[in-house]
Amino acid sequence: MPSDVLSPDAQSDRDANPTLKYQCPVCSKRYKRREHLSRHTSSHTSERPYRCNTCDGSFKRADVLKRHLRTCDGGSSRSGARRRACDRCVRQKKACSAHQPCQGCSKKGVLCFYSSVPEPFEDASLAEVVTIDASFGNFTGQTGNSISSTDAMNPFAGTQQETGSFGTSPLDNLFNESFFGSAGSSWQDYLLSASESEVLRDNPLLDTGSSHSLHFLDRFTSNSGLVSSFDCGTELQRENSASQLAQPYRAGFPGGCGGLTPLLDNLSDASTVDCSPINWLGDPLSLKTHEILLLIQEVVRIKPRNSAVTLDWSAALKNACLQFFSPANLRRFLEFYWAIWHPNVNFVHGPSFDAVSAKPALLASMAVMGACVSPDMPDNEDARTWFNCVEEIVFIDDDFNSDSVCPASSNIAIHRRKVQILQAAYIVCLYQNWEGTDSSKSRIRRNRFATLVSTARDIGITTATHLNYAEMGRHEFEWKEFATREELIRVFTWIFLLDTAFVIFNNLPPRMVIKEMKMHMAMPEACFQALTADECHQQIQTHRPSGNAYWSLSFRGAFEALAKDHLSPNMRHIIAASGPLNLFSLTSAIHSQIFQYRSSVSSSQNLKPIHNTLRNWRDSWQLFASVSLAGVSPHITMGDCNPPPQLMWRRIGFCRHCPEFWLLAKLMTERLATLGSLQPEIEHLPLDDIALDPILNQYDQTSMRQVNNLIIGFQTFQL
């Protein structure tokens, strides 16, 4: 971290230029942009990662190497023999401006590649992996300090616990100690920066006399992109998180190719400058980088019919792949995943996550997601290059397409790779649906997600249950077993939630039904976020003791209880104690019931069960929100409204806005009740005058415009 004490000159420079907020920790120079600081910091190291293949000269910057090649013996002749047109213009037989990007690619908004330079490693990709020391028994960097395989990538790295290869350690050592600045005073900044307990208690359901609002859903349906739609922290929080990540990784892994400069800038240079895997031999993640490279190379070279992958394999693409998924970038992108994205979809068990042993498909999808939410625009742009490639490697994975079932009674931890491929597929569905093109969104909604649901059923939704750990002593408690079961429960819960999201926002018929959700609900965050096996066991004993109704209650049972005319006070307390994620799932399930009512052609359908569910859910949420305080509720483990980066993963994500999902369901139900009494006999109407649906008239829509119009209409009517 930069020193708090500045020289008088540096202090005066900062006062004169308040926009120069990025300071070099070595010489105190300040820069306006982070990439300028990153380029400057390389001048303080002795590393020279860019090497000339002709004379073995090494350089610190790619542009210096490029100038050198013009005068180096053999450099000029190679440059003169180089094809001037880019790959796309050659394929289309069009004139090329030979710029980077060329005019044609720039107009079309596509990537511009120059791959005419010979690629000496084209046929030796597998050999590169073989040449890496396969033992990886004791990784040592250039400094001689050993790097454990668990600490190498686990964002919760710190003190190793007694779990063998099941790596665990506190998160606190990841970042330096500093807190974020205060958030803005706008409504959106309040939503993003207010403490969890403030938002949970300050919700429309607790003040029944006021007019309700749908601020979050209005923003959610009118914006595109993950950061704009979900709770990814304020812009200042994301910037500060990136600032604290940049310097430690550059200092720790100066030989890596994963700096903060735009990855795909000057791809003509990338075809000449290899990303030097030799510099990664001491890095435990280097093998993962090459595993991902080989998987992407396979799907690019061997494209099935109607493949979404449109890239052609070349030296430039290979080096771009090595650079994007380099060990340094994998670390950086995964930290963005944990700090910025994880709270929104919290189904990966952070304290035990080990990137070195994780499936490369999961690692690649998490890295792409982290790059999508990165505050650095080049990361966002680079991630889009690999959207379809990572999608392809996930959905053709052997674990994803096998039909083996996870027995509920056996040691489910041995099936963790199958759980990981479900997580990877879900992450792909998310980034494609919120960041991809319209064709990608349609493909995910209509094909990929259907495959994901089918795979979940093949594994067995009823297998997503816990053993009664409260009846076990500490010596009997298997943390690895608990983590895998909880991950399975949560990934099935989030698959159900994405299904209801397609129902709500795209007017797509549901693929899952509530009756099949005979599985446990998610455990409290205090149990899931526990950093050690001892802490986890203690939290379970405290919040889910033996005899607690949790052990015998399924998600289906909880929803059926809400649909009854009378909800007993005991059951209300049980459902309220289930926490925001489970309450979010229950209120989302109401929308599936509403869709089935809207889709029915029978006049005998009754809205009373939906009214019951709405009333009982509201009472349960009010009970939960009234006691939701950090340190008191097991579901709120972090109460600071401006948490330091090492605690951002503990936040509650966008599920804290589930009262708005309830309110939308309530307003839709009221409209259905009103329209039902005014509905004419449609058999006497002309064919063209019959509306498809009384609320949303278009099905399976990629755009959320009609839902946004409905929300705006509801808010206008209330005003």
| pLDDT tens sequence across 144-199 | 333 344 344 454 544 333 333 333 333 333 233 332 333 333 434 444 444 455 55
In total, how many domains does the chain have?
Answer: 1
Confidence of residue 119 (pLDDT cuts 50, 70, 90): very low
> Rg of the chain's alpha carbons, rounded to an integer?
27
Tokens of 711: 């929300």
Average pLDDT for 448-474: 94
* pLDDT tens-digit map of 357-369: 999 999 999 999 9
Average pLDDT for 394-422: 79
pLDDT at residue 258 greater than cutoff 80: no
Average pLDDT for 379-402: 94
Average pLDDT for 392-419: 78
Q: Which of 9-23, 79-93, 550-564, 637-651 has the highest mean pLDDT?
A: 550-564
More confident residue, 265 or 40: 40
Which long-range contacts does 628-632 make (Cβ < 8 Å, 24+ apart)?
Answer: 628/196, 628/197, 628/200, 628/201, 629/197, 630/195, 630/196, 630/197
Q: Which of 89-93, 277-281, 284-288 has the highest mean pLDDT?
A: 284-288
pLDDT at residue 316 greater than cutoff 50: yes
Average pLDDT for 517-521: 97
| 286-301 vs 387-395: helix crossing angle, rounded to 10 | 90
Across-strand partners of 23?
30
Q: How many other C-beta atoms lie within 10 A of the C-beta of residue 68?
A: 16
| 286-301 vs 327-336: helix crossing angle, rounded to 10 | 90
* pLDDT tens-digit map of 637-680: 877 677 888 889 999 999 999 999 999 999 999 998 887 655 55
Rounded CA separation 502/494 (Å): 12
Instruction: Tell me whether residue 99 is in a domain.
Output: yes
Instruction: Tell me whether residue 681 is in a domain.
Output: no
pTM score over 0.85: no
Confidence of residue 308 (pLDDT cuts 50, 70, 90): very high
More confident residue, 463 or 690: 463
∠ CA 90-258-375, nearest 5°, is 95
Confidence of residue 582 (pLDDT cuts 50, 70, 90): very high
Identify the pLDDT of residue 603: 55
| Complete DSSP assignment for 466-496 | ---GGGS-TTT--HHHHHHHHHHHHHHHHHH
Instruction: Tell me whether residue 295 is in a domain.
Output: no
Identify the pLDDT of residue 26: 66
Rounded CA separation 643/649 (Å): 10
Identify the pLDDT of residue 65: 75
Percent of the chain at pLDDT above 90? 50
Indicate which CATH number applies to the domain containing 96. Answer: 4.10.240.10
Find the range with the poorest average confidence among 51-55, 86-90, 470-474, 543-547: 51-55
Find the range with the poorest average confidence among 61-65, 591-595, 699-703: 61-65
**Cβ 614 vs Cβ 590: under 8 Å:** yes
Find the range with the poorest average confidence among 250-254, 323-327, 707-711: 250-254
Identify the pLDDT of residue 250: 37
The backbone torsions φ and ψ at residue 404, rounded to the nearest 5 degrees and listed phi first, read -75, 150
Identify the pLDDT of residue 149: 40
More confident residue, 13 or 634: 634
Identify the pLDDT of residue 583: 98
Rounded CA separation 101/112 (Å): 5
Instruction: Tell me whether residue 106 is in a domain.
Output: yes
Confidence of residue 411 (pLDDT cuts 50, 70, 90): low
Find the range with the poorest average confidence among 121-135, 345-359, 580-594: 121-135
Average pLDDT for 585-600: 94
Instruction: Tell me whether residue 103 is in a domain.
Output: yes
Confidence of residue 29 (pLDDT cuts 50, 70, 90): confident
Identify the pLDDT of residue 691: 56
**Cβ 360 vs Cβ 420: under 8 Å:** no
**Cβ 503 vs Cβ 509: under 8 Å:** yes
Confidence of residue 255 (pLDDT cuts 50, 70, 90): very low
Q: Which of 150-164, 272-286, 579-593 has the highest mean pLDDT?
A: 579-593
Cβ-based neighbours of 213, under 8 Å, separated by 6 or more: 204, 660, 715, 718
Identify the pLDDT of residue 19: 63
Instruction: Tell me whether residue 266 is in a domain.
Output: no
Instruction: Tell me whether residue 109 is in a domain.
Output: yes
Average pLDDT for 283-305: 94
Identify the pLDDT of residue 36: 74
Identify the pLDDT of residue 471: 92
Average pLDDT for 545-565: 95
Confidence of residue 204 (pLDDT cuts 50, 70, 90): very low
CA nearest 574: which of 543, 530, 615? 543
Q: What average pLDDT does the structure give for the chain?
A: 78
Identify the pLDDT of residue 681: 54
More confident residue, 719 or 653: 653
Rounded CA separation 201/233 (Å): 19
Rounded CA separation 254/277 (Å): 13
Instruction: Tell me whether residue 98 is in a domain.
Output: yes
pLDDT at residue 2 greater than cutoff 60: no
Average pLDDT for 469-494: 95
Confidence of residue 630 (pLDDT cuts 50, 70, 90): low
The backbone torsions φ and ψ at residue 19, rounded to the nearest 5 degrees and listed phi first, read -80, -10
**Cβ 272 vs Cβ 117: under 8 Å:** yes
Q: How far is CA 663 from the centre of its chain?
A: 27
User: What is the span of the domain harbouring residue 108?
Assistant: 85-116
Average pLDDT for 121-141: 37
Q: Which of 40-54, 99-113, 520-534, 695-709 has the highest mean pLDDT?
A: 520-534
